[in-house]
C-alpha cells in the first residue's frame, strides 16, 4: 500500500504514521523524506524502479494451478502485459487476470488449505511476516513457497502444487 502525508510537527508525523498503519499487518515504512525548505526535489537512482507483475487464469474454469510472472521490467504496463500474455499462451485461456504487482519489491507465493495465493511487499522479510499475518487472521494453515524479486529480470512460472492437477 502506498501512503503519503505532509507533516510539519511531531504530532502531525505521529498522526500520519497512525493513519498509514490502519489495518495493515506490518508497520509502515518511510520511503522518502524532505524538508519544506527544499527548493528542488530531484530524486536519485532509487526512483529507477523495476516492475514485477503476476497473472493467472481468471475464474476456476481452466485454472491450471500456476502463476505467470514477468519481472525486471522498466514499466508496470510492460510487466503486466508480459505476465498476462504468458498466461494466455500457456493455458489457451480466454481470460487471464493480473493478481498482483510491485515496483522493486518481492512477490511471495503460498498455499493455504488448498487455496493458492500471492502477495507483494518491500522486502523478503516483510513478505514472510505479511503472509503469516494474513494466514493467522484468516485462521488457516499456510505453506510459504517461492519468492520473486522485481529487480531480477525474467519470466517465470510458479506451480503452486507440483505434480497435482487442480480440480
How many domains is the chain built from?
A: 1
Q: Does some domain include residue 153?
A: yes
Q: Does some domain include residue 86?
A: yes
Beta sheet of 142-149, edge-to-edge order: 115-121, 106-112, 142-149
Q: Does some domain include residue 80?
A: yes
Q: Using CA of residue 93, residue 94, residue 99, residue 105, what is the dihedral sign?
A: positive
Q: Does some domain include residue 24?
A: no
Specify the pLDDT at position 16.
78
Distance CA 37, CA 28 (A): 25
Distance CA 17, CA 20 (A): 5
Contact (CB, 8 A) for 157 and 67: yes
Among 108, 101, 116, 112, which residue's Cα sits nearest to residue 60? 116
Contact (CB, 8 A) for 118 and 100: yes
pLDDT in tens, the chain (167 residues): 555 666 667 787 778 778 877 767 677 776 666 666 666 666 665 557 899 999 999 988 889 999 999 999 999 999 999 999 999 999 998 899 999 999 999 999 999 886 899 999 999 999 999 999 999 999 999 999 999 999 999 999 999 987 554 44
Q: Does some domain include residue 77?
A: yes
Q: Does some domain include residue 82?
A: yes
Specify the pLDDT at position 18.
80
Could you read off the pLDDT of 33-44 as tens digits, one per residue?
666 666 666 666
Specify the pLDDT at position 35.
65
Q: Print the domain residue range for 107.
A: 48-159
Q: Does some domain include residue 115?
A: yes
| E strands present in the chain | 51-57, 66-73, 96-103, 106-112, 115-121, 142-149, 154-159
Q: Does some domain include residue 81?
A: yes
Specify the pLDDT at position 29.
72
Amino acid at each position: 500500500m502506498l501512503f503519503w502525508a505532509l507533516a510539519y510537527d511531531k504530532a502531525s508525523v505521529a498522526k500520519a504514521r497512525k493513519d498509514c498503519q490502519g489495518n495493515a499487518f506490518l508497520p509502515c515504512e518511510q520511503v522518502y523524506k524532505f524538508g519544506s525548505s527544499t527548493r528542488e526535489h530531484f530524486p536519485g537512482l532509487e526512483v529507477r524502479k523495476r516492475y514485477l507483475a503476476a497473472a493467472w487464469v481468471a475464474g476456476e474454469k481452466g485454472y491450471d494451478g500456476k502463476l505467470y510472472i514477468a519481472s525486471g521490467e522498466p514499466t508496470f504496463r510492460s510487466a503486466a502485459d508480459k505476465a498476462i500474455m504468458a498466461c494466455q499462451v500457456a493455458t489457451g485461456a480466454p481470460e487471464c487476470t493480473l493478481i498482483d504487482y510491485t515496483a522493486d519489491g518481492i512477490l511471495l507465493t503460498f498455499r493455504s488449505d488448498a487455496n493458492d495465493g500471492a502477495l507483494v511487499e518491500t522486502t523478503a522479510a516483510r513478505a514472510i511476516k505479511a503472509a503469516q499475518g494474513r494466514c493467522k487472521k484468516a485462521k488457516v494453515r499456510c505453506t510459504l513457497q517461492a519468492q520473486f524479486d522485481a529487480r531480477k529480470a525474467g519470466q517465470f512460472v510458479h506451480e503452486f502444487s507440483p505434480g497435482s492437477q487442480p480440480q
